[in-house]
Chains A and B, each alone.
Chain A
Amino acid sequence: MIKGEKAVITVIGKDMVGILARVSHMCAQSGVNVLEVTQSILQDLFAMVMLVDMAGAKTDVAALSEQMDALGGELGLKIHVMHEDIFNSMHRI
Chain B
Amino acid sequence: MNANEILETIEMIDNEDLDVRTITMGVSLLDCAGPDPDAAAGRVYDKICRYAENLVRTGEDISRQYGIPIINKRISVTPIALVAGACPGASPVRFAQALDRAAHTVGVNFIGGYSALVQKGFGPGDYALIESIPEALSGTELVCSSVNVGSTKAGINMDAVEKMGRIVRQTAELTADRDCIGAAKLVVFCNAPEDNPFMAGAFHGPGEPDCVVNVGVSGPGVVRAAIKKSGAGLSLTEIAELVKRTAFKITRMGQLVAQEASRRLSVPFGIVDLSLAPTPAIGDSVAYILEAMGLEQCGAHGTTAALALLNDAVKKGGVMASSSVGGLSGAFIPVTEDAGMIAAARSGCLSLSKLEAMTAVCSVGLDMIVIPGDATAEIISGIIADEAAIGMVNSKTTAVRVIPAIGKQAGEELDFGGLLGQGPVMPVNTASPAAFIHRGGKIPAPLQSLKN
- Give the chain B neighbours of A10 by CB distance below 8 A: 6-7, 10
Cβ–Cβ < 8 Å partners of A87 in chain B: 1, 5-6, 9
Whether A12 is near chain B, meaning CB under 8 Å from some CB there, is yes
Cβ of B255 under 8 Å from chain A: yes
Whether A89 pairs with B256 at a CB distance below 8 angstroms is yes
B239 on interface, CB distance cutoff 8 Å: no
Q: Choose among B2, B5, B64 the residue that contacts A62 (Cβ–Cβ < 8 A).
A: B64
What separation, in Å, do the CA atoms of A8 and B65 have in the docked complex? 11
Kindly name the residue among B3, B6, B10, B13 whose own CB sees the greatest number of chain A CB atoms within 10 A: B6
How far in angstroms is the closest Cβ of chain B from A48?
9
The answer to whether residues A83 and B9 also contact, given A40-B3, A49-B3 and a CB cut-off of 8 A, is no
Q: How far is the CA of A86 from the CA of B61 in the complex (A)?
A: 15
- List A16-60 residues whose CB lies under 8 Å from chain B: 36, 38, 40, 47, 49, 51, 60
B253 and A90 contacting across the interface, CB-CB below 8 Å? yes
A83–B67 touching, CB < 8 Å: yes
Q: Is B14 an interface residue (CB 8 A)?
A: yes
Quick check: B255 and A89 within 8 Å, CB to CB?
yes
Residues of A with C-beta under 8 A to B169: none
The digit string for B67-110, where 1 denotes a CB below 8 A from any CB of A, is: 11000000000000000000000000000000000000000000
Size range of the chain A interface in the assembly: 20 to 34
Could you tell me if B66 and A82 are in contact, using CB atoms closer than 8 angstroms? yes
Do A90 and B249 touch across chains, with their CB atoms under 8 A apart? yes
A10-B10, A82-B68 given; A91·B2 CB < 8 A: yes
Which residues of the partner chain A approach B3 to less than 8 Å between Cβ atoms? Answer: 38, 40, 47, 49
Q: How far is the CA of A89 from the CA of B272 in the complex (A)?
A: 15
The CA of A27 and the CA of B256, in the complex, are separated in Å by 26
**B253, closest chain A residue (CB):** A90
Taking CB atoms, residues of chain B closer than 8 Å to A83 are 65-67
Name the A residues within 8 Å of B249 (CB-CB): 90-91
User: B1-25 vs A: 1/0 string, CB under 8 Å?
Assistant: 1110111011001100000000000
B5 touches A78 (CB 8 A): no
Q: How far is the CA of A88 from the CA of B3 in the complex (A)?
A: 12
Q: Tell me which residues across on chain B come within 8 A of A60, comparing CB atoms.
A: 65
B396 interface hit (Cβ, 8 Å): no
Selected contact of A80 from candidates B1, B65, B67, B253, CB within 8 Å:
B67
Interface string of B233-269 (1 = CB under 8 A from A): 0000000000000000100110110000000000000
Residues of B within 8 A of A77 (CB): none
B7, B14, B64, B256: the one contacting A86 at CB < 8 Å is B256
Give the residues in chain B near A38, CB-CB below 8 Å.
3
Query: Assuming the A-B contacts A40-B3, A91-B5, are A86 and B255 also in contact, with contact meaning beta carbons closer than 8 angstroms in the complex?
Result: no
Check A86 against B67 for contact (C-beta < 8 Å).
Answer: yes
Q: How far is the CB of B356 from chain A (nearest CB, A)?
A: 36
A85, B256: Cβ atoms closer than 8 Å = yes
* In contact, A78 and B14 (Cβ under 8 angstroms): yes
Give A38 to B5 CA distance when docked, in angstroms.
13
Indicate if A67 sits at the interface (CB-CB under 8 A): no
Closest to A85 in B: B256
CA–CA, A81 and B9, complex, Å:
12
Complex Cα distance A77/B65, Å?
20
Question: Is A90 a contact of B65 with CB atoms below 8 Å?
Answer: no
Inter-chain CA distance A83–B9, complex, in Å, is: 12
Interface string of B38-72 (1 = CB under 8 A from A): 00000000000000000000000100111110000
Given contacts A8-B1, A38-B3, A91-B5, contact A86 B68 (CB under 8 A): yes
Query: Considering the chains assembled together, what is the distance between the CA atoms of A10 and B14 in angstroms?
Result: 12
Residues of B within 8 A of A12 (CB): 7, 10
Report B187-209 CB contacts with A as 1/0, cut-off 8 Å: 00000000000000000000000
Determine how close the nearest CB of chain A comes to the CB of B20; give it in whole angstroms.
Answer: 11
- Given the known A-B contacts A8-B1, A10-B10, A47-B7, are A82 and B67 also in contact in the complex, defined by CB atoms under 8 Å? yes
Chain B residue nearest to A66 in the complex (CB): B64
Distance between A2 CB and nearest chain B CB, rounded to angstroms? 11
Using Cβ atoms and an 8 Å threshold, which residues of chain B touch A80? 10, 13-14, 67
- A: which residues have CB within 8 A of B? 8, 10, 12, 36, 38, 40, 47, 49, 51, 60-62, 65, 78, 80-91
Sample of 6 further A-B pairs with CB below 8 A, known A80-B14, A87-B5: A62-B64, A82-B9, A85-B66, A89-B252, A89-B253, A90-B252
17 A–B contacts from the bound complex (CB under 8 Å): A8-B6, A10-B6, A10-B7, A36-B1, A38-B3, A49-B6, A80-B13, A80-B14, A83-B67, A85-B256, A86-B68, A87-B5, A87-B6, A89-B252, A89-B253, A90-B249, A91-B9
Give the 8 A-B residue pairs with the shortest CB-CB distance, closest first.
A82-B67, A62-B64, A91-B5, A49-B3, A89-B252, A89-B256, A83-B66, A90-B249
Q: Which residues of B contact A (CB under 8 A)?
A: 1-3, 5-7, 9-10, 13-14, 61, 64-68, 249, 252-253, 255-256
